[in-house]
Amino acid sequence: MEADNFAVSSYVSVVALLMNREEDVQELHTKGIVHSAFSNEETLTLFKWAARHMRVGHSYYQGFERLNEYRNQRYVWIAIHRFFYNNFKTIAAILSVAGVLAGLFRAILSVKQPHQ
């Protein structure tokens, strides 16, 4: 594969796609993807401005495609995790009620059955 001379601008553009809020910048900083002496707000502004003014090459499209492949492979697990994360309290309550009901039914059945 031939180098396209746009690797840095492609990288900046892909990283800018990952940033929409200051919290996104903080997360990228925490994971070591972005290093900056600027504040999160200034870094976000810089990346968004730079991405609009840079040309991208093959590296951009390759990186973007790899992100899409990763997302598509992980989509099912992400959806399952999101469901359990968002409904954890409800699931715990249902399981607790089911446990109590199972205990009650066992107690009722043990009382109704003749002792031998």
Whether 116 maps to a domain, the answer reads: no
Whether 115 maps to a domain, the answer reads: no
Domain count of the fold of the chain? 1
Whether 65 maps to a domain, the answer reads: yes
Give 6's pLDDT tier (boundaries 50, 70, 90): confident
pLDDT attached to residue 2 = 53
Whether 23 maps to a domain, the answer reads: yes
Contact predicate 12/47, CB 8 Å: yes
pLDDT attached to residue 115 = 65
Report pLDDT digits (tens) over 21-34: 999 999 999 999 99
Contact predicate 34/43, CB 8 Å: yes
Q: Which two tokens stand for residue 74?
A: 């992980």
Domain that holds residue 54: 7-87
pLDDT attached to residue 57 = 81
Report pLDDT digits (tens) over 48-81: 999 898 888 887 888 778 888 888 888 888 888 8
> If residue 23 lies in a helix (H) or strand (E), which one and from where to where?
helix 22-30
Contact predicate 40/22, CB 8 Å: yes
Whether 51 maps to a domain, the answer reads: yes
Whether 78 maps to a domain, the answer reads: yes
pLDDT attached to residue 41 = 95
pLDDT attached to residue 23 = 94
pLDDT attached to residue 9 = 84
Sign of CA dihedral 50, 51, 56, 61: positive
Q: What pTM, to 2 d.p., does this model score? A: 0.52
Helices 58-86 and 88-112, axial angle in degrees (round to 10):
40
**Average confidence score pLDDT of the chain:** 87
Q: What is the 3-state secondary structure (H, E, C) of 8-21?
A: HHHHHHHHHHHCCC
pLDDT attached to residue 92 = 95
Whether 92 maps to a domain, the answer reads: no
Whether 63 maps to a domain, the answer reads: yes
Instruction: Determine phi and psi for 31, rounding to 5 degrees.
Output: -85, 0
